[in-house]
Amino acid sequence: MNDKLKFLFIDQNAAFNFFAENVIELDCLPIKARFELNPDRSLHHLRSCEARDFPRVIIAEINMPLYNGFEFADRFSAEFAAMHPDCLLFLTSNMEKRKYIQQIEAHPAIAGFLRKPFSKKSFEKVIQPQLSTVAVGS
């Protein structure tokens, strides 16, 4: 259990969160996931996290009500990036990557883009290469 990576999924569409939860279970991915439906609650959760509970990877939907993934990335960058340099923030969407690629590459706090839905393939090809080889977890 201790070598599972802590992930935080932020998506107002519960269907995608449920999908990710089942993919993690069915494909036995080394992930301990938390799911939040809105960015405000996510920020509240991150503020209350102890260092060992802070997620290693955050995956946030770009098109969320009230404020979008990029605005979440701005707030994440301002509040948490310096204290948690190992935390990788990915943005996700059901739209094509090329729509967002310039914005993503220009943002210092965003590690990359994942096309929806979350899958074993996106974990292995996009997320894992960026993770440190040092085992993470409590």
Q: Catalog residues that contact another protein under the rule CB under 8 A.
A: 12-16, 18-19, 22-23, 26, 37-38, 63-66, 93-95, 116-117
Residue whose CB is less far from another protein, 23 or 87? 23
Query: Virtual CA dihedral for 134, 130, 73, 117, nearest 10 degrees?
Result: -120
Residue whose CB is less far from another protein, 96 or 124? 96
For the bound state, the minimum distance from the C-beta of residue 107 to another protein, rounded and expressed in Å, comes to 18
Query: Is 84:111 a contact under the CB 8 Å cutoff?
Result: no
- First-to-last alpha carbon distance for the chain, in angstroms, is 9
Amino acid at residue number 97: K
For the bound state, the minimum distance from the C-beta of residue 99 to another protein, rounded and expressed in Å, comes to 9
